[in-house]
Amino acid sequence: MFPSTAFEPAVGALPQGLDVLRREAQAEGFRFVERLATEWASGEKRFDRVGEILLALRVTGELAGIGGLTVDSVVAGAPRMRRFYIRPAFRRHGLGRLLAQSLLDRARASGRLVTVNAGAGSERFWEALGFRSAPADGHSHVLR
């Protein structure tokens, strides 16, 4: 574990350092961090409705990852994990789990199932958190 970690909610603006995440995600073939920036800029998705949040994870001040919760547009009232990304240099230290647990603690307060569309290769990560494969309605996994 890293010595100094902090969560920073994105309110009004995306977190400083997001450009590094965008470049690294794109280099790995992931487009969802770019989609996050595009949707935020257009106002389409700002993680600002009741029950929604976008959290930046900082390690000694450096942006290490990001992830959010939105209200699922298909499964009524269900929180949906979205735009979850940990930079490669910060992986395998429990930071992804730390960020996911923080979001899941908020989601569980709703008492509803939580959905995620696990990207290729991330299925084991989500399943280790208790999600089960249940492909339907635009998601790949659910947590009851």
Q: Write down the domain spans for the chain.
A: 5-143
Q: For the chain, how far is it from start to end, CA to CA, in angstroms?
A: 28
Which residue's entry shows tokens 């009232």? 77
The reported pTM is 0.93
Q: Which amino acid is at 13?
A: A
**Do the beta carbons of residue 61 and residue 125 sit within 8 Å?**
no
CB atoms within 10 A of CB 126: 22
CATH number of 5-143: 3.40.630.30
**Per-residue pLDDT tens over the stretch 80-139:** 999 999 999 999 999 999 999 999 999 988 788 999 999 888 999 999 999 999 999 889
Enclosing H/E stretch for 48:
none
pLDDT in tens, 35-83: 999 999 999 999 999 989 999 999 999 999 999 999 988 888 899 999 9
Q: What is the pLDDT of residue 98?
A: 96
**Residue 16: DSSP 8-state:** T
Q: Which of 54, 78, 85, 84 is nearest to 137 (CA)?
A: 78
Would you say 111 and 47 are in contact if contact means Cβ atoms under 8 Å apart? Answer: no
